[in-house]
Amino acid sequence: MDLGRRTVTAEEIVAFAKKYDPQAFHLSDEAARKSHFGGLCASGWHTTALWIRAYVDYWVAEDARLHAAGIPVVAMGPSPGIEDLSWTKPVYAGDTLSLSSRIVDKRISRSRPDFGILTSENGAENQDGTPVMRFTGRIFLPLRPV
């Protein structure tokens, strides 16, 4: 699934950092230039937040499309967690991320047989095609259309 593109502005990087991850290299370009990063870059938790936003937006649009086509849709359920999240390169101010998700497994939950579990490999790459973040996620889906 192509979850679209997001350009990450300096303003947005600093706003997220002020609220949730106030380390110098996420707050100030000047401080970041003196750090190992070499320039203002986003909190890794900001990158994951941008990914989930793109994922939700994708499914809201896709659910509407399927509903309109008369195809049953299930609600999105809770996520039990993720595996092996890697921040492979910094996300710098002005970078445009391409966000993606690929379903790699689906099965019935053993503990909750009224739920399915989808496993997906999720990622973000920058405008140069360099991967900046990836993780394997799982989500519960109730096995009845809404």
Provide the 10 A C-beta neighbour count for residue 96. Answer: 12
Tell me the closest approach of the beta carbon of residue 37 to a copy of itself, in angstroms. 7
Tell me the closest approach of the beta carbon of residue 132 to a copy of itself, in angstroms. 11
Decide: 73 and 67 in contact? Cβ < 8 Å. Answer: yes
> Which parts of 23-52 interact with a copy of itself (CB under 8 A)?
23, 35-37, 43-45, 48-50, 52
DSSP codes of every residue in 28-69: -HHHHHTSTT-S-B--HHHHHHHHHHHHHHHHHHHHHHHHHT
Q: How far apart are CA 138 and CA 81, in angstroms?
A: 6
Q: How far apart are CA 71 and CA 68, in angstroms?
A: 8
Token pair listed for 125: 């790459």
Collapsing DSSP to helix, strand or coil, 3 comes out as: strand
Tell me the closest approach of the beta carbon of residue 2 to a copy of itself, in angstroms. 19
142: contact with a copy of itself by CB under 8 A: yes
Pick 98 or 139: Cβ nearer a copy of itself: 139
Tell me the closest approach of the beta carbon of residue 7 to a copy of itself, in angstroms. 16
Pick 1 or 76: Cβ nearer a copy of itself: 76
Q: What does the per-residue mask of binding to a copy of itself show for 64-93, with x meaning CB under 8 A?
A: -----------xxxxxxxxxxxxxx-x---
Binding residues for a copy of itself (CB under 8 A): 19-23, 35-37, 43-45, 48-50, 52-53, 56-57, 60, 75-88, 90, 142
